[in-house]
């Protein structure tokens, strides 16, 4: 296990449909109650949208991203696979310049997609390191091409989780990315993005997910129990930490 690091708190609030100021205030309050301390100032991603958009322009100049004007329905119709994750498939090639210019002039919204073929050609085969629960490092081969032309800039935001997290991790000097098992699948994709942006790839560790008494993982969309609810039930920070470590 990597030790002696710095604990960084980052507010990843690029999705304005789900992120509200009161939620951010609650995060600060709950974590302070739990006894955690972090470096300040806290990184707020919504304040960095211009930086993410500038990076997309640079990637476009390098031929690594392209504008995709298709809707999810149009992509599904092309694939004839309504249950595919359409954000992570090879969906289309860039439009001819004249047609693309017309779409832009007409105000048709577009997302920025990674050209996975161009990315793989530039980076070539590579490996990255995964830290296991026992602290040992395992070298992993990348199969990022399986993710296809992922969206790096959403139509409604101008960035994406993939791009903003990788940029901020690199900018903040993150050397260990500690995430839940539900995000283990994208480690090789993010490793690819680090390399494309010219940064050293951090070590990844994916911890087990918190679950209820039935083994169902706790998730906001299922109205799972929250840290605030535990507080209101009279639990102490010591009890919470003991439960997490058990």
Per DSSP, the residues of 162-178 read HHHHHHHHHHTT--EEE
**245 in a structural domain:** no
**97 in a structural domain:** yes
Question: Is pLDDT at 89 greater than 60 in this prediction?
Answer: no
Identify the helix (H) or strand (E) that includes residue 130.
strand 127-131
Bridge-based pairing state of the strands 65-68 and 203-207: unpaired
**233 in a structural domain:** no
CA dist., res. 118 & res. 124, Å (int): 10
Domain that holds residue 43: 10-208
Question: Is pLDDT at 78 greater than 60 in this prediction?
Answer: yes
**80 in a structural domain:** yes
Residues 209-246 have pLDDT tens digits of 766 666 666 655 544 567 888 888 888 888 888 877 66
The predicted structure's pLDDT at residue 21: 86
CA dist., res. 162 & res. 175, Å (int): 17
**219 in a structural domain:** no
- Measured CA to CA in angstroms, residue 168 lies from 12, 60, 194, 209 at distances of 10, 20, 11, 24
Query: Mean per-residue pLDDT for 33-46?
Result: 92
Identify the helix (H) or strand (E) that includes residue 100.
helix 97-105
The predicted structure's pLDDT at residue 221: 54
Residues 123-135 have pLDDT tens digits of 999 999 999 988 8
**60 in a structural domain:** yes
How many domains are there within the chain? 1
- Measured CA to CA in angstroms, residue 223 lies from 13, 30, 31, 234 at distances of 20, 17, 19, 20
For residue 38, the SS3 value is coil
**214 in a structural domain:** no
* Least confident span in 49-58, 66-75, 97-106, 196-205: 66-75
Confidence of residue 86 (pLDDT cuts 50, 70, 90): very low
82 vs 154 pLDDT, higher one? 154
Q: Specify the CATH number for the domain of residue 99.
A: 3.40.50.620
The predicted structure's pLDDT at residue 81: 52
Highest mean pLDDT: which range of 27-31, 96-100, 126-130: 126-130
Spacing of C-alpha 208 from chain mean position: 18
The predicted structure's pLDDT at residue 93: 66
Question: Is pLDDT at 140 greater than 90 in this prediction?
Answer: yes
- Percent of the chain whose predicted confidence (pLDDT) is above 70: 84
The predicted structure's pLDDT at residue 240: 82
**200 in a structural domain:** yes
171 vs 244 pLDDT, higher one? 171
244 vs 153 pLDDT, higher one? 153
For residue 227, the SS3 value is helix
């Amino acid at each position: 296990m990597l030790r002696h690091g710095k604990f960084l708190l980052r507010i990843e609030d690029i999705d304005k449909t789900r992120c509200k100021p009161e939620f951010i205030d609650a995060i600060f309050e709950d974590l302070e109650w739990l006894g955690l301390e972090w470096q300040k100032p806290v990184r707020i991603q919504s304040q960095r949208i211009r930086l993410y958009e500038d990076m997309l322009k640079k990637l476009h100049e390098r031929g690594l991203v392209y504008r995709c004007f298709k809707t999810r329905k149009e992509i599904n119709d092309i694939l004839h696979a309504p249950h595919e994750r359409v954000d992570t498939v090879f969906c289309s090639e860039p439009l001819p310049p004249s047609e693309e210019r017309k779409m832009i002039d007409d105000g048709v919204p577009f997302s920025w997609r990674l050209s996975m073929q161009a990315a793989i050609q530039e980076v070539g085969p590579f490996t990255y390191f995964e830290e296991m629960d026992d602290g040992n490092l395992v070298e992993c081969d990348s199969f990022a091409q399986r993710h296809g032309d992922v969206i790096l800039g959403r139509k409604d935001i101008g960035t994406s989780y993939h791009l903003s997290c990788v940029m901020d991790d690199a900018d903040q000097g993150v050397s260990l990315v500690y995430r839940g098992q539900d995000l283990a699948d994208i480690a090789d994709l993010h490793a690819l993005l680090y390399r494309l942006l010219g940064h050293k790839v951090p070590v990844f560790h994916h911890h087990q997910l918190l679950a209820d008494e039935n083994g169902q993982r706790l998730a906001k969309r299922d109205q799972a129990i929250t840290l605030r609810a535990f507080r209101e039930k009279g639990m102490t920070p010591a009890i919470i930490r003991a439960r997490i470590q058990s």
